[in-house]
Structure 1
Amino acid sequence: MAQTGKSSSKKSSPSYISSIIGVALVLFLLGTLGLIVIHANKLSVYFKESVEIQVILRDNVKDAQAQALKDSIAAKPYVRSIEYVSKDMAAQRFKKDFGEDFTSLLGYNPLYASINIKAKSNYVNADSLKLIENTFTRNAAVREVSYQRALVDKLNENVRRIGLVILALCVLLALVVIVLIDNTIRLAMFSNRFLIKTMQMVGATRWFIAKPFDLRGIINGGISALLAIIGLVGVLYGTNQLLPEFGGLSDYFMIGILFLGMLVLGVGICLTSTHRSVMKYLRLKLDDLY
């Protein structure tokens, strides 16, 4: 019996190795899509928060009034960053950007002072920006409010479309991952079917038989997940080396949640599939194993 057990164990080892690698590859594929989702979300937030709202002030507004207005706006929940640009600062920036000093040519500064606002991403949509614009236009100190409306509409439309595509891919890939991992584990357990049945025939209880296989499923799932996580860390490191600006978009908290989810998924599916396979072979008659 000991010889049979050792022989079976040796025969099953390659199956475990191949199943570990197979599950790791599938989890790596799922994790890659997860990283794409995380970075796509961060990228959309980055672009939305780059949209600038210019609150252009009237010529008769003094700097003190403008600063007071800026401070009151800064307290609003939609403000991510805010800056007051005086008429002189606007002229200096124009000269720096275009290399021309138009004030000496015209004899006066035709530019207006402005308060430049960058809103938080969840406020960068047509409805929210319209409400924000209306609050400013009712202020007597404000001449007009300017922002790229067409860009905001296009940005939100593209984000919506990309989100739907990624959601569909996530659902499809999640189903594929579950099926592939389940089939991989069941194939690995196929080589142990006679060992399982032999243990049952000598009087071992179902719990006694299933326990070591369940433990092996947990270990294999954990190893597969760790291999997949190491692969994804390598991908992130390589990407950050090639594209340093990519690192600024990384949400390490969400990446940590993704890695934890991969570990739980790997262990959970491997354990469930292993236990189901053991119970299946315990229910079969000996002749059905051939």
Structure 2
Amino acid sequence: MAKEGKGSLKRSKPSYIFSVIGVALVLFIMGIMGWIFLNIKQAGDMLKEDIRFSAYLRTQNKDTIGQIEQFVATQPYAKNVTYVNKESAKQIWNKDNNEDWAKILDVNPLPESVDFYVKADYINKDSVEKISNVLLGLYGNQITDLQYPKSLVTNLDEKAKVYGLIFFVISVILCMIVIFSIDNTIRLAMFSNRFLIKTMQMVGATRGFIAKPMDIKAVINGCISGLIAIALLFALIQWMETQVPEIRVINDTKQTVMLFGGMILVGVGISLFSTHRSVIKYLKMKLDDLY
């Protein structure tokens, strides 16, 4: 009898192994989508910040050129500000066009310029036009023109908005699927323990006494699921970096760590919410309704 009672007690204990694995797999999928989103944004920002702006100079006064260079360098939008003389401009032109026009021309027709790159947040039509107007307004007598690929800036801005909206919709749908999947997984795990919950209530245990250990277990299981998902995602990222080394350049360690933390919070939060809700649900139900 003692052995039979012991075996029955073991069977009545909650089994969370499949729940932990199920939640971990769902979090892993969520982590993959989150990592793709972060890296797409990072790659887009790098593409935007690779657009060169050239303020062509009318003046050859070194002090004035230094003032223009210093002004641009102090602006919040500017990156990598450099003064390009005629010889440097010739080298850049030859590199971009893969030929040496000096074989045809004896005189260097290229103007000197102050070249700079603009931070990703400022690569949009309105911001770039404002930058151009300010520079030409302040140094219109020293700068002939501010050159940059206008069509590329416009296209990047428009496509970024469209792709951002599409990915936002996909992210919302994915979040709903993740929440539903984790909630359903936890509810199935708790369904197998509905009689244990009801039995504890029938012998006089309070609602808080019954729910507390299960809530604590849900937090622990959520952490375990999150850590498993993080380990899988980390291994996948490492493998991808060995296959495509360029990924290391765009991969932001800080954002990846924040993504890992978010995976644990989602796992713990939904596990705790679903577990507590299931416990309260079965406590409110009549015994006959559990069958």
Per the alignment, do residues 278 and 65 of structure 1 end up closer, same or farther by CA in structure 2, a change over 3 Å counting?
Answer: same
Note the C-alpha offset of 1:6: 1.9
Contact 1:79 1:119 in 2 (8 A): yes
Note the C-alpha offset of 1:7: 2.4
Deviation string 1:203-241 (CA, Å, 9 cap, x unpaired) is 222222222211221111111111111111112111111
Contact 1:63 1:86 in 2 (8 A): no
Note the C-alpha offset of 1:135: 2.5
Is the counterpart of residue 191 in structure 1 residue 192 in structure 2?
yes
Percent of paired sites with the same residue: 44
TM-score, with length taken from structure 2: 0.91
Give the whole-Å Cα distance in 2 for the aligned partners of 1:200 and 1:63.
87
Q: Which residue of 2 aligns with 1:24?
A: 24
* Secondary structure of residue in 2 paired with 1:143: strand
Deviation string 1:157-198 (CA, Å, 9 cap, x unpaired) is 111111101111111111111111111111111111111111
TM-score, with length taken from structure 1: 0.92
Q: Which residue of 2 aligns with 1:72?
A: 71
Is the counterpart of residue 134 in structure 1 residue 133 in structure 2?
yes
Contact 1:5 1:195 in 2 (8 A): no
Per the alignment, do residues 176 and 95 of structure 1 end up closer, same or farther by CA in structure 2, a change over 3 Å counting?
Answer: closer
Q: Which residue of 1 aligns with 2:239?
A: 238
* Secondary structure of residue in 1 paired with 2:126: helix
Q: Which residue of 2 aligns with 1:158?
A: 159
Note the C-alpha offset of 1:126: 1.0
Per the alignment, do residues 230 and 100 of structure 1 end up closer, same or farther by CA in structure 2, a change over 3 Å counting?
Answer: closer
Give the whole-Å Cα distance in 2 for the aligned partners of 1:177 and 1:289.
27
Q: Which residue of 2 aligns with 1:33?
A: 33
Q: Which residue of 1 aligns with 2:61?
A: 62
* Secondary structure of residue in 2 paired with 1:106: coil
Code of the aligned partner of 2:78: V
Note the C-alpha offset of 1:26: 1.0
Pairing 1:1-290 to 2, within 5 Å after superposition: 2-9=6-13, 12-13=14-15, 16-58=16-58, 60-95=59-94, 100-103=99-102, 105-138=104-137, 139=139, 140-290=141-291
* Secondary structure of residue in 2 paired with 1:81: strand
Give the whole-Å Cα distance in 2 for the aligned partners of 1:66 and 1:222.
58
Contact 1:23 1:224 in 2 (8 A): yes
Code of the aligned partner of 2:289: D
Consecutive unaligned residues of structure 2, counting only runs of 5 or more, are none
- The size of the alignment, in residue pairs, is 285
Give the whole-Å Cα distance in 1 for the aligned partners of 2:77 and 2:258.
27
More deviation, 131-140/239-248: 131-140
Give the whole-Å Cα distance in 1 for the aligned partners of 2:85 and 2:42.
32
Contact 1:51 1:118 in 2 (8 A): yes
